[in-house]
Amino acid sequence: MALLGIDLGTTAVKALLINESGETLASATVEYPLSTPQPLWSEQDPSDWWRGSVEAIRQVLGKSGIPGSAVRAIGLSGQMHGLTLLDRDGRVLRPAILWNDQRTAAQCQAMIERAGGPARMRALATNLPNPSYTAPKLLWVREHEPHLYARIAHVLLPKDYIRYKLSGEFATDVGDATGMALLDVRRRTWSDELLRLFDIPRAWLPLCAESHVVTARVSQAAAQETGLAAGTPIVGGSGDQPAAAVGLGSVREGIVNVTLGTSGVVFASVEHYPQMQDTAIELFCHAVPETWFLMGVMLSAGGSLRWHRDVIANGHPALASVNHNGDAYDALLSSAATVPIGAEGLIFLPYLTGERTPHRDPLARGAFVGLTLRHTQAHLARAVVEGISFGLRDSIELMRALGLKVSEVRAAGGGARSAVWRQMLADIFEADITLVNSTEGGAFGVALLAGVGIGLWRDTREACDAVIRVTSRTAPSGDSAVRARYAEAYARYREAYPALKPLFSRLCG
């Protein structure tokens, strides 16, 4: 018996087979291209998603040596927000407009104004629309491609196009649907008021279900293409962030997960609908019924460290011996550990690609502040890692302001491998930093949801408890002097952005 998780990413699709114990039987990843036809645009051909998914499914079945009939259920995850448009015959009308496309700033502002202002928009949709979201993209098509808009019959998110190709059914889940900016997030259903306000037909939208609910079954045609058995159930699944959280076991309030990838994501489950304020924190439906999640996104987390490695530290003696046979990041972090907290007055702002949380500011820029002749390569490395960590703490502090009690932070992504960085995060967050035995991300999370959907586990929390365990725990140092020094350094860091913001806008003018 096996469960199949499919994670449709921005650059590749991953298929993962696990057994009922949560053990990986096989995995396969297939890449596909990304198109940028104009500056700030980002698009993909949905047919590439399907070709990649078919290949990944066939590869994973072949690697595992099990027949498609042994796959009991399927879960879908993937990049969120992307606009996929189909006509009445199910044909794709145009390339999908992706989450990282930035063409819709004007439509976002128009949505807020039409709703009657930010407060009313939050009351209706919980989150203020931003260019990542789906509805502004749909309004852009209406304004700029009316000939295509007139032919729309179905609006799907990326992973839900794979569901359609697997089954012929149109469905999504409440978590991914939140990012369309058309959902009543509190009630976890499409908002008739938002649809009426923006003149979007309800008939275009798919069935919206909880993440573990069976929404479709593999068709005979898809079975022939993929090697799966016709009739195999497909659950709602979820977007990549909530799916990855399930894969880490972050399904209870108090457990926060921090992903240290190119971007940095702070994700926290909440078991009540909080009163959202004027905040950069976003609130989405979680993959667990009657549960939501708070999310903060730093655009250049590991990306800032990579930039430092490639542009500033490249060729430095500390890296010379590891360029080919070792880990340059370990060398940078080891050198950072030799420098006192606060990098002797050096601050780094990690806004190399603008920022999303806590500053909704695409014009924000990176900066070293306080450089002196005393500062060395190690000081620069320390400042960069502290700056990233302080930026992530910004999101946690915004969540704490909404009433969240942080009991544990589960770390994932490349940066989580560093014991030096984990200790720094524990001291800066003032919370235990843990690692878990699961490293397969969203594909693993939706495979668990598939198991819940067919009754293998009673609910998602039971599934996580059954297969996910903590393998490492890093506690705050317990030294009051360390806490005081980090508090002082964090306070200085917090002063730098407001001081430089006017300059940033002029530099980009």
CA–CA separation, 10 and 411 (whole Å): 22
Q: In 3D, which of 433, 91, 101, 98 has the Cα closest to residue 260?
A: 433
Give the orientation angle of helix 328-336 with respect to helix 377-401, to 10 degrees: 80
CA–CA separation, 144 and 439 (whole Å): 42
Which residue type, as a one-letter code, is found at position 249? G
Whether 32 contacts 52, CB under 8 Å? yes
DSSP letters for 108-133: HHHHHHHHTSHHHHHHHHSS---TTS
| Residue with tokens 């009922």, as numbered in its chain | 20
Whether 463 contacts 451, CB under 8 Å? yes
Return all residues near 210 (Cβ < 8 A) that are at least 6 apart. 173, 174, 188, 236, 289
Q: Is the peptide bond before 340 cis (omega within 30 degrees of 0)?
A: no
Q: Looking at the annotation, which residues are catalytic?
A: 240
Whether 153 contacts 200, CB under 8 Å? no
Q: Indicate the SS3 state at residue 147.
A: helix
